[in-house]
Amino acid sequence: MRKKLLLATISCLMVLSLVMASCGSKEGEEGAELDSKETVKIKLEKEDGTVVEKSVEKPKYGGVITWALSSDIQGFDDAFRMNVSCTANSLTLEEPLTGDYTKGPSGTGEFPFLRGSEPRFYPTPLLAESWEWPDETTMIFNMRKGVYFAVNPDNEASQLVGGREVNAEDVVFSLLRMWNNPTSPQAMFCPYDQSVESVTAPDKWTVKVETKPGWFSRVWVRAGDCIFVIPHEVIDKYGDMQDWKNNVGTGPYMLTDYVQGSAATFIRNPDYWRKHPLFPEDTMPYPDGAKMLIMPDASSRQAALRTGAIDGVGKEQFTLDIAESLKTNAPQLKWREYLSETTACIYLRVDQGIFIDLKIRRALAMAIDRETIKNEYYQGKADTFAFPILPELKQWFIPFEDYPKSAQELYEYHPDKARELLAEAGYPEGFKTEIICTMPDADFLSIIVADWEKIGVEAEIQVLDFGIYMSMMIGKERTYSGAAYSNTMTEAPYEFYVWRTGMPVNAGNIHDARIDKAFEEVTAAWFDKDEEARLIKEIYPYIVDQAYIIPIAAPYVSMAWQPWLKGYNGERSIGLWNGADYYLYSWIDQDMKKSMGY
């Protein structure tokens, strides 16, 4: 029997002495600094045992952290929405596990924490203080004692719960509620009847999850770091947590107000339990409160950042032209540039109509002049081969030259061969089709449509409201009949989200038995990382060769934040696909902010 026990440890070893460092006030690109600041010398240990020593500024409490969102909060109950869309929940609710902040850019730098799937590699205890894997179908979470649901005297739902201690039954309730709710994304991605044998609490502080053979990895991800733990009393009385006033959890903040389309306001949970991973003597969070401002207008968000009205923009990615403008007009801002995890893609309905024919799909792929798009639309700042696997995912990435020639040519510009394929498919003069998108993508899509016109394909662009577009693209019933444009995530090749039969985000209605079998094999190989990587590298050349999805390019983008937002280095997701946990470890340097005139 295989057993693995990972105890909750703090990888950060504090040096006993505090070092006082003085520095004169100065002006420049970094802005004015404090006349003196307190730093702490810390030691961090990498996964390979290497010790990293660094001096880190000692955080201070106080202030309110404020950031802007480009779209409204989509919900407060992840039984009805993806947890990443329930943006507020990352501040108010918690899961058994999270990602290890000390492994990111603010710590050892081993992982960038730019992608929502990355915490799979560096899980760390949260509500669970440790976990065990007795065998390849069993996981046990040993729950932390002394954690209590937040008490807000002005909130009826909070008073109903009464600030009681969290226990294993709360975890079991939350997991089963999520898996048994047909509207839950987790139930769609990891169906209970296919993946789980049982979820039980053998005692008050132990959660035992038994999976069906081959499903351990998918269940582990969701049970550990994808489902928030909530009190059953709220569901018993109100039915769900879709009303923000029913949002009760154990997190570092409490939601005190929400105005749709305007803002969400939070106050510090005075009874929060967690210590900062770099400063174990400090209880999180440092700010007195937090505020999410809903700013759909891009120019308004940029103006708020430029004038210091907000501390950051959350996960928003700026294109490089906008970044250059902001760097000129707001030189104090901090920046992080990286390759976007979203690639511009064309989805084709491959289960019906003309796109069943592989020759037609390949013709459309070869008719797109990606290099011109990269150089003229993206000013050279894009990667035309970032899909289906990001280059940074080295254990799975397959270099372009290692793909078969038939796959390589799908990323190249071959209009003459595209015409030949159309003729072989019975369309020597081309054909007409339609392609759906939302307003922000219409201009870019027109470039692709213009390339297709050169081989005789006339694609009518249908610009739709976002809600209508999503209803046509996602779910069990897809009503678009031709093609669809979408910016597609390329984070987790082991999930096969957009390729697997029956997946909500399989927008092309792909039904490929070879891919489905590969998913089962990759899932079963989770304990053997070398075998998992081998299987992924074996199947993806086949997937690319089928041209089910036509990738265009992934742009390089930038993130920005104010210099007084300390303890933050451009992380986008510490926990797994969380909506807003990126600032949880941060603090506001109020003295610096004031000295800079904000």
Give the tens place of pLDDT for each residue, 24-66: 333 333 333 434 588 999 999 998 899 999 999 999 999 999 9
Residues 313 and 347 in one domain: no
Instruction: Tell me the three state secondary structure of residue 290.
Output: strand
Classify residue 337: in a domain, yes or no.
no
Classify residue 47: in a domain, yes or no.
no
Residues 281 and 181 in one domain: yes
Per-residue pLDDT tens over the stretch 451-471 = 999 999 999 999 998 888 888
Residue-level pLDDT at 264: 97
Of the two residues 88 and 315, the one the predictor is more confident about is: 88
Residues 453 and 570 in one domain: no
Residues 457 and 479 in one domain: yes
Residues 292 and 372 in one domain: no
**At residue 475, does pLDDT exceed 90?**
no
Sign of CA dihedral 94, 99, 100, 102: negative
Per-residue pLDDT tens over the stretch 68-124 = 998 889 899 988 887 778 899 999 999 999 989 999 999 999 888 887 665 455 789
Residues 252 and 197 in one domain: yes
Residues 547 and 590 in one domain: no
Please tell me the total count of domains within the chain: 2
Residues 106 and 189 in one domain: yes
Could you list the residue range(s) of the whole structural domain that residue 305 is in?
Answer: 64-318+562-595
CA distances, 309 to each of 66, 160, 305, 321 (Å): 8, 37, 6, 22
Mean pLDDT of 353-371: 97
Q: In sequence order, what are the beta bridge partners of 312?
A: 67, 561
Sole residue written with tokens 């595209």 = 418
Q: Tell me the longest C-alpha to C-alpha distance in the chain.
A: 78
Classify residue 569: in a domain, yes or no.
yes
Residue-level pLDDT at 502: 84
Residues 300 and 374 in one domain: no
Residue-level pLDDT at 116: 67
Classify residue 232: in a domain, yes or no.
yes
Classify residue 333: in a domain, yes or no.
no
Per-residue pLDDT tens over the stretch 187-217 = 887 889 999 999 999 999 999 999 999 899 8
Residues 457 and 379 in one domain: yes
Residue-level pLDDT at 23: 34
CATH of the domain at 351: 3.10.105.10
Residues 551 and 566 in one domain: no
User: Given its phi and psi angles, is residue 577 left (phi above 0), alpha (psi -120 to 50 degrees) or beta?
Assistant: left
Mean pLDDT of the chain: 89
Classify residue 196: in a domain, yes or no.
yes
Start-to-end C-alpha separation, the chain: 60
The pair of structure tokens assigned to 436 is 């759906």
Mean pLDDT of 406-424: 98
**At residue 14, does pLDDT exceed 60?**
no
pTM of the entire predicted model = 0.85
Sheet of strand 36-45, all strands in order from the earlier edge strand to the far edge? 12-22, 36-45, 51-57
Sole residue written with tokens 């070879």 = 514
Query: Residue 488 — pLDDT band, cuts 50, 70, 90?
Result: confident
Residues 497 and 582 in one domain: no
Classify residue 38: in a domain, yes or no.
no
CATH of the domain at 139: 3.40.190.10
Residue-level pLDDT at 36: 58
Sign of CA dihedral 304, 308, 311, 312: positive
Amino acid identity at 561: W
Classify residue 444: in a domain, yes or no.
yes
SS3 sequence of 453-509: HCCCEEEEEEEECHHHHHHHHCCCCCCCCCEEEEEEECCCCCCCCCCCCCCCCCCCC
